[in-house]
Amino acid sequence: MNLSLSTLTSANTPLTLNHSAAQVGIVHLGFGAFHRAHQALITDTYMQEFGGNWKIVGVTWGSSDLPQKMAQQDNLYTVGVGYNDTLNVQLISAIEEILTSTQTDQVFAYMCSPDVKIVSLTITEKGYCHHPATGDLDLNHPFIQHDLADPTHPQSAVGFLVEALNIRRQKDIAPFTPLTCDNLPENGHVLEKVVLQFAQARDPELHQWIKNHIQFPCTMVDRIVPRTTENDINRVEQVLGLRDEACVVTEPFLQWVVEDKFVNDRPLWENTSIANIEVTDNVLPFEEMKLRLLNGTHSSMAYLGYLSGYQTIAETIRDPKFKYFIRRMMDDTITPAVHIQGVDLDDYKSQLIERYENTALQHRTWQIAMDGSQKVPQRFLQTMRYGLDHHVDLSPLYLALAGWIRYVSGIDEQHQAIDVQDPLRDEFAAIWEQHKDQPQAIVNAFVHLDSVFSPEFARDNTFIESLTGALETIMTLGSKQAVYQWVSTHKN
């Protein structure tokens, strides 16, 4: 049987529908696996424990079949929490409806409802339609150009936010709080910048109103949530006793740090029984810790692991030399660039290694490698900028960054095609086609991509020479042997 309201009595896991009559209080843009395993689960727990009108309407982009799957299940779904061979499940009933971004009238009906107090986002880095190196809105982005010309039928999340705020302004409806939950440093400031730049290009008066009336809290989110596979669905079915086509499988660890800066009501998420939820005045140290230590090493394993023939993070970290390489990267290269008080960083880093080793999560290196041009600035380059300024050994990150450059060539080390998913894929291919096997020319071309690298990198001879040497090593030895060589020369 498939999961639905009518089959709940057959589930092995109970679900108390004590908030079935609650009103919608949150619209979430970018309704994907991460949101279902993180903010939606937390909000569902809050309503189970405290009540409140905080049901969620999700909005998806692209050709997702998730709205149909969720509708067939009465918008119920399962979160499977896995650790190696064990799997526990939790049923979630906080979702009111899933819409697609093309259903603009329905989306705006929710976004402009006085009951909606928060519009949250997990749209990935590229969803902000900005230049990652500068944070500026890309006014030439096709979505942005479309939304400026036709603001009532937006294609971008930025367009949806600005038009919904405009409607609420015109109708004298209290504004909502835009709450970004994406992996960007100072993500609230990033969202504020692109929203204000879009509004300025559209209507200076609207720009000034948003500037005066809207707050953009920063957040740090942490939970590893791979893309759901058929095997995940089958495992959840075995435990739940019902088939759930919209389930997600995640790890036990969860963390959410939220800046206390809301213009309307919010759930008191931090009061739930879930650990590691914190509301604070300063999210930046937590963001810095997570983006650099977790996301930085995750992406390092994605590029170097994929090129070494490893399909998943768990498989990559089970290689003792990769494990040593990643831990030394954490300790010697990244930790000096992390500034946080009250956190045992040694314990945090050990937890990260343990999380990576979790075989219940088949987190594919190829999936993490997606959209590297949008991730490299905050996951690698900010740490490297600090390291260059403070004479830190950056050799592991040079190898990781060179691994990314090698990966986006589109051809792996066995001369097979790589399905590179990145907004700059064509530019990368052109660089490799033009310069072929000339690492210095390739590096020079990459560091002059101003949408990824800020200008000081192109002027830094130490950076260019070190990156060129790392790329030459990878092109000569292969990624696995490059890591192995690094380990052999650095192991105490």
pLDDT, tens digit, 9 for 90 and up, residues 350-401:
999 999 999 999 899 999 999 999 999 999 999 999 999 999 999 999 999 9
pLDDT tens sequence across 112-125: 999 999 999 999 99
Give the neighbor-by-neighbor strand order of the sheet with 95-100: 95-100, 55-60, 24-29, 118-121, 177-180
The answer to whether 35 and 42 are in contact (CB under 8 A) is: no
d(CA 34, CA 55): 17
Per-residue pLDDT averaged across 106-111, rounded?
A: 98
- pLDDT band for position 199 (cuts 50, 70, 90): very high
Which two tokens mark 242? 């019902």
The answer to whether 182 and 123 are in contact (CB under 8 A) is: yes
Give residue 13's pLDDT. 87
Per-residue pLDDT averaged across 289-316, rounded?
A: 97
Q: Contacts for 439-443 with beta carbons within 8 Å, 24 or more apart? A: 439/468, 439/471, 439/472, 439/475, 440/468, 442/405, 442/471, 443/405, 443/467, 443/468, 443/471
Give residue 316's pLDDT. 98
266 φ, ψ (degrees, to nearest 5): -150, 155
pTM above 0.85, yes or no: yes
Query: Of the given ranges (131-135, 205-209, 264-268, 279-283), which has the lowest mean pLDDT?
Result: 131-135
pLDDT at 134 over 80: yes
The answer to whether 77 and 244 are in contact (CB under 8 A) is: yes
pLDDT tens sequence across 235-269: 999 999 999 999 999 999 999 999 999 999 999 99
Q: Which of 218, 376, 193, 192 has the alpha carbon at shortest distance from 286?
A: 218
The domains of the chain, with CATH numbers, are: 5-280 (3.40.50.720), 284-490 (1.10.1040.10)
Q: What angle do CA 96, 102, 107 make, to 5 degrees?
A: 40
The answer to whether 29 and 156 are in contact (CB under 8 A) is: no
Residue 271 identity (one-letter amino acid): N
Q: Which of 175, 180, 156 has the alpha carbon at shortest distance from 165?
A: 175
Strands 118-121 and 55-60: unpaired
- pLDDT band for position 16 (cuts 50, 70, 90): confident
- Percentage, residues of the chain above pLDDT 70: 100
